[in-house]
Structure 1
Amino acid sequence: MRWFGFGFNAFGQIYVREKTTEVKSTDTVDEVKVSSPAELTLSKDCCLNTVVQIKASWSRRASLQLDGDNCVHLTGFGSVQPNESCGVPELSHGSDVFISEAYLTLGFSDKIEVWDLQKEKKTRSWSMEIKTLPETSGSHVSLPLVPGGYIAMKPPFYRPLSQHLKAKSLALSAEHAILLTASGDVYTWGQGSHGQLGHGGLSSEEEPRAVEALLGMPMSSVAAGGWHSACISDGGDLYVWGWNETGQLGLPSRGLRKAQQQQHAGASSQHSGSTPAEELREKEENEEVFISIQAFPALVDVTPSCEVQKVSCGHRHTAALTTTGELYTWGWGDYGQLGHQSSVSSDEPQCVEFFREKQMRVIDVVCGAWNTFAAVVKMDVGASS
């Protein structure tokens, strides 16, 4: 398995370009933006083939490596040397990792530790022992979920959850949370100013509240972006809601379409031979319903040929992985985080052709705030593209 990244790279979260003492660092644009998928690097002695999990914040990437000496490598802002390990202890078998901009959470088989990343010398800020409950022993839950509750992005780190929810997975953003229950129901709470809670309004919720529009349709996974949310049904359908300013919901965005029309008008103004009637007809054809905030879950048709098996959300972009191993991205693309080898934004899901052209099958996708990471394997001989 190989990992690739694209998008925001100002702190070397994706790769660090080697420089000589004779060359000054003036080409900052290429270092900040990675618009074409680039294979990730750790240190010279580490192999990414053994990395099973990646989590990302705005300025850092945490890579969980399982190869006999289980460890977490922290790459990006705050590293003393490029691609240096963050200095946290080795993790035991069955470990997990979760990262925010300020803290790194490590999951052991018998305890949870939270490390402060804001200090020059990484220090352990908080820890708690955990015991696997009998009723959950047959099912694995991932951070930030822990038995009886979840780990928040800021103190108090442990937040209890009602036992009746029977949480299966949890997605956290800086301002809201999305919980998936064992029965496939979706609950949200937190800040709702951009419709990201999916309850039809813009109010906030202090306690988990069921997304009524999804009741009766069991969901298999959930994801939280900066101000938008997503989930996948058992049948592989993708539902999204929240803010759509840069097309991150995959729905028509007025801002993006207006910018595209201005570019088109500028390119064609010098040789336009359209009659007034043709211009009026073109204007009417371009009239459509634009969506700035989608306060209820909306179905997005990523691709009619296959189902969606995983979705991940950045601050203002979204990535979806299909059952055929293809990666689709949409939303804000200024840093190349859509992987289309450009900085163009899009309010329509588009396939990342790089992996198809390289005959690679995508098996996992993780969005950072302004970047995207994908795990790939070589496509089987004879497999359909």
Structure 2
Amino acid sequence: MRWFGFGFNAFGQICVHDPNKGAGTDVAKEVKVIGPAELTGHVDRSGCCLKTSRIKASWSRRASLHLVGDGGVCLAGFQAVTSDESCGPSVVESRGCKDACISELYLTIAFSDRIESWDLQKKEKTPSWSMEIKTQSQGTGPLLNLPLVPGGYIATKPPLYRPLSPDLRAKSLALGAEHAVLLCATGAVYTWGLGSHGQLGHGGLTSEEEPRAVEALWGMSMSCVATGGWHSVCISDGGDLYVWGWNESGQLGLPSRGLRKATLQQSSQQAGALCQDTSSSPGEEPQEGEKHEEVFISIQAFPALLDVTPSCEVSTVSCGSRHTAAVTTTGDLYTWGWGEYGQLGHQALISSDEPQRVEFFREQQMRVIDVVCGTWNTFAAVVKEEVACP
């Protein structure tokens, strides 16, 4: 399995610049990586290359989880150029970990017997918060996925530990800028937190202090949830994608007035440069009887079904601050939303309110199996596409 990244790279969270290899045209010095670039592997003290199993990302950092053997967590990005000077735990201190999650302030690591949260703004050699957990034996169910921990979850800012009712039977949890989306073992979805952009999916813009079921999804079993800055998505057991929340940048894949207006302005400027006479421009208002009003959506306050591609189902999804990426069962990656840093992977700094396939992986005969969005970037795990013998 290989990992590729594209988008915001100001801190080297995608491509780490190695000064020993010279400057040249090193993509690591680029703030915007507009096309998929393969992530360089980490090497342990013995010189062995560590294989990345998972990626977790925040705005300025990337955490690579190496879960094979002793494994560990390696950081790339802000204050993480060298392990000796970086904040947070070293690879040695994270060996044996089972999972990790990262925010701008904290790196949380899960072991089989404990949870540790490290303050990334300090160079302390001990975690700022920790809790012991009972070692799970066979037959007691799967380990919870961070940020879920026994009895609650780890928030992005203090107080780090927040309790959850055991009645919810939490399966996975996604944290947005100021809201949360919870998937229960029953397939039900609950949300809480800030609701000013419709990101809670309850049909209004009010906030919720406690988890509340998304009634529009009631009766449909969901298998995956994800959150962006102010939008939310989930996948049903049947592979259908539901979206809700803020759509100003087209991050829901629904018609965005802001994006269409920007596109029209750009087209008008280009047309004006070619032709000074606009009296007979084809962009004039249509004649009477021809007018039709296009529907734009700035806020979608309840879940809407999004048809990413009519030919296949969605297997996994991830959200950035204002963009979304989904992997289909055929191994294709689709992205949409804000793309001014190249986070959509289309080899250009464009935004889109329609899901578009990232052609790079298809052209390289690669099958995408996972996707993780940072705030302004995207990371994709791929395997070589198996070609059937004639």
Report the TM-score, using the length of structure 2 for normalisation. Answer: 0.90
Query: Which consecutive unaligned segments of at least 5 residues does structure 2 have?
Result: none
Is the partner of 1:280 in helix, strand or coil? coil
User: Matches of 1:30 and 1:332 in 2, distance apart?
Assistant: 22
The alpha-carbon distance between structure 1 residues 281 and 195, as it changes in their structure 2 partners (threshold 3 A), is: same
Q: Residue 315 of structure 1 aligns with which residue?
A: 321
Tell me the secondary structure at the aligned position of residue 51 of structure 1. coil
Distance in 2 (alpha carbons) for counterparts of 1:106 and 1:21? 32
| Number of residue pairs matched by the alignment | 381
Match of 2:49 in 1: 47
Q: Which amino acid aligns with 2:80?
A: S
8 Å CA contact 1:168–1:182 kept in 2: the answer is yes
Aligned AA for 1:55? Answer: K
Residue 379 of structure 2 is matched in structure 1 by 373
Q: 1:28 to 1:40 in 2, by over 3 A?
A: closer
The aligned counterpart of 1:60 is 61
Match of 1:205 in 2: 208
Q: After superposition, where does 1:305-384 map in structure 2 within 5 Å?
A: 305-382=311-388
CA separation in 2, counterparts of 1:370 and 1:209? 29
Instruction: For 1:45-194, list aligned pairs within 5 A.
Output: 45=47, 47=49, 50-81=51-82, 86-87=89-90, 89-91=92-94, 93=96, 95-121=98-124, 123-131=126-134, 137-194=140-197
Contact 1:76 1:83 in 2 (8 A): no
- Contact preservation (8 Å) 2:97, 2:109: no
Mapped to 2, the partners of 1:202 and 1:217 lie a distance apart of 23
1:244 alignment counterpart: 247
User: Which residue identity is paired with 2:5?
Assistant: G
Aligned AA (2:384): K
Q: For 2:284, what is the secondary structure of its paired residue? A: helix
Check 1:146–1:303 CA distance in 2 against 1; reply closer, same or farther (3 A cut).
same
Q: Residue 31 of structure 1: CA displacement?
A: 1.3
Task: Tell me, yes or no, if the aligned pair for 1:57 and 1:368 is still in contact at 8 Å.
Answer: yes
* Aligned counterparts of 2:228 and 2:154: Cα–Cα separation in 1: 17
- CA 1:137 to 1:185, structure 2 compared with 1: closer, same or farther past 3 Å? same
1:17-61 Cα distance to aligned partner (Å, 9 max, x none): 344798699x9996100000000124454635x211110000000
Cα deviation code 1:219-238 (max 9, x no counterpart): 01100110000000111010
Q: Distance in 2 between the 1:156 and 1:273 partners?
A: 60
Report the CA distance shift for 1:30/1:76 in structure 2 as closer, same or farther (over 3 A): closer
Structure 1 residues 250-278: Cα deviation after superposition (integer angstroms, max 9, x where no partner): 00111110011111122223347885787
CA deviations on 1:189-238 (whole Å, 9 max, x unpaired) are: 01111111001111111100000000011101100110000000111010
Aligned partner of residue 128 in structure 2, secondary structure: strand
Match of 2:295 among 289, 296, 299: 289
| Letter aligned with residue 2 of structure 1 | R
What is the percent sequence identity of the aligned residues? 69
Range 295-304 or range 282-291, more displaced? 282-291
Question: C-alpha offsets along residues 151-194 of structure 1, whole Å, 9 cap, x if unaligned?
Answer: 11122222111111111111112311000011110000011111
For residues 323-371 of structure 1, give each alpha carbon's deviation from its aligned partner in whole angstroms, at most 9, with x where no partner exists: 0100000000010000001110000000000000000000110000000
Task: String of CA shifts for 1:65-112, please: whole Å, max 9, x gaps.
Answer: 123231100111012538987515444656110111000000000110
Letter paired with 2:8: F
Q: Which residue of 2 aligns with 1:31?
A: 30
Helix, strand or coil: the match of 1:69? coil
Per-residue displacement from partner, 1:291-339 (whole Å, max 9, x unpaired)? 1111111111100000001010000000000001000000000100000
Contact 1:16 1:83 in 2 (8 A): no
Q: Which amino acid aligns with 1:182?
A: A
2:75 and 2:282 map into 1 onto residues whose CA distance is 60
**Alpha carbons of 1:169 and 1:154: their partners in 2 closer, same or farther (altered >3 Å)?**
same
Unpaired runs of 5+ residues, structure 1, are: none
Are the equivalent residues in 1 in contact too, given 2:191–2:214 (CA < 8 A)?
Answer: yes
Q: What does residue 266 of structure 1 align with?
A: 269
Matched-pair contact (CA < 8 Å) for 1:131–1:147? no
Shift of 1:132: 5.5
Q: Do the aligned residues in 1 keep the contact of 2:112 with 2:136 (CA within 8 Å)?
A: no
**Paired letter, 1:219:** M
Give 2:285's aligned residue.
280
Q: CA RMSD in A?
A: 2.8
SS in 1 for 2:192: strand
- Contact 2:72–2:96 (CA under 8 A) maintained in structure 1: no
Distance 1:211-1:46 versus aligned 2 partners, 3 A rule: farther
**1:286 CA displacement:** 7.5
* Structure having the larger proportion of residues in helix: 1
Question: In 2 relative to 1, CA 343–30 (structure 1 residues): closer, same or farther, beyond 3 Å?
Answer: farther
